[in-house]
Amino acid sequence: MQRPELIAIDLDGTLIDSAPDLAFAASEMLKRLGRAQVAEERVRDWIGNGADMLVKRALTGEMVPEKNPVDFQRGLDVFSEIYADNVSVRSSLYDGVTEGLQRLQKAGFSLACLTNKHSRFTRPLMKRTGLGPYFDYVGCGDDFEQLKPHPSSLLKTAERFNVAPARSLMVGDSVNDVQAARAAGFQVFCVPYGYLNGLRVEDLNADLIIDSLADLPNVLENLH
């Protein structure tokens, strides 16, 4: 491993525990559609592939729905309306996030937040949680043609900063983050507390597992 020039960090499950608000919106969506509501713990397994997939999973109960379920578009519209009003009501930063970002910013790293979440939700969430000022760039799901695990968002961000992928680091919490980083040629670290889709963090094949963002500056100080 080598010291990166660019650090790209995932949002949901890495910086913010957004599951409580996402679960509320998904459950209320199901209720309005006359369906049984769902527990937050179930929704935690569905997070990570954007709102469209979350709604499909909520409507079918399947991790990989084969096709758009009945009421998908209506469900997506209802979910989006509810979530837009609840994007930061119950969500919170994970321990160590603010400390870690402050130290990384002070050390002069270029910082980007790369998420599959739509900008309609991402920008208000980052503003209300105070994350915005720490990042030089925020890339949302609708800013790119394809979502993670496709590497395009990482590659385009490295190009934006004029940094080689090999001198870039992705920090995330899911298999999507690791697969995107590997395909883009980024180094990749994972935190153990996010949305693992039923996997163990040890199974993600990251270069390193860090307990929190607060540990990241110390790790990077030891890299050449």
Catalytic residues: 10
- 185-194-60 Cα angle (round to 5): 100
> Which DSSP string corresponds to 48-112?
TSHHHHHHHHHHH--SS-SSPPTTHHHHHHHHHHHHHHSTTSS-EEPTTHHHHHHHHHHTT-EEE
Alpha carbon distance 102, 109 (integer Å): 11
